[in-house]
Amino acid sequence: MAEEVHCVHILVKTQKDANHLRDRVLAGEDFGALAREYSSCPSREQGGDLGWFGRGQMVKPFENAAFKGEPGDVCVCRTQFGWHVIKVLEKR
């Protein structure tokens, strides 16, 4: 079976906003609550939860960031949709 990753994310317009939200997550704030408040992605309704996905299902910069991280990692990346704060929950 191919490798899969389970992530939550927050989509915002600027790198400054993404970095600020990443810092808040790293300081212990609830990721889901921040996603519901700030994310412009429809996944905000699920607290930013994207579920499990494999390679080839997300745009390349997002996929690369998600698969590079280990569970618990929080990173920022840019795609054509904007800036993402990504937290890796699990890998299998």
Domains of the chain plus CATH, in order, are: 4-91 (3.10.50.40)
Q: Convert the pLDDT of each residue in 10-63 to its tens digit.
A: 999 999 999 999 999 999 999 999 999 999 999 999 999 999 999 999 999 999
Could you give phi then psi for residue 51, rounded to 5 degrees? Answer: 70, -165
* Distance in angstroms (rounded) separating the CA atoms of residues 83 and 90: 21
Global confidence as pTM:
0.95
CA nearest neighbour of 48 among 92, 84, 4: 84
Task: List beta partners, residue 82.
Answer: 79
Q: Convert the pLDDT of each residue in 58-92 to its tens digit.
A: 999 999 999 999 999 999 999 999 999 999 999 99
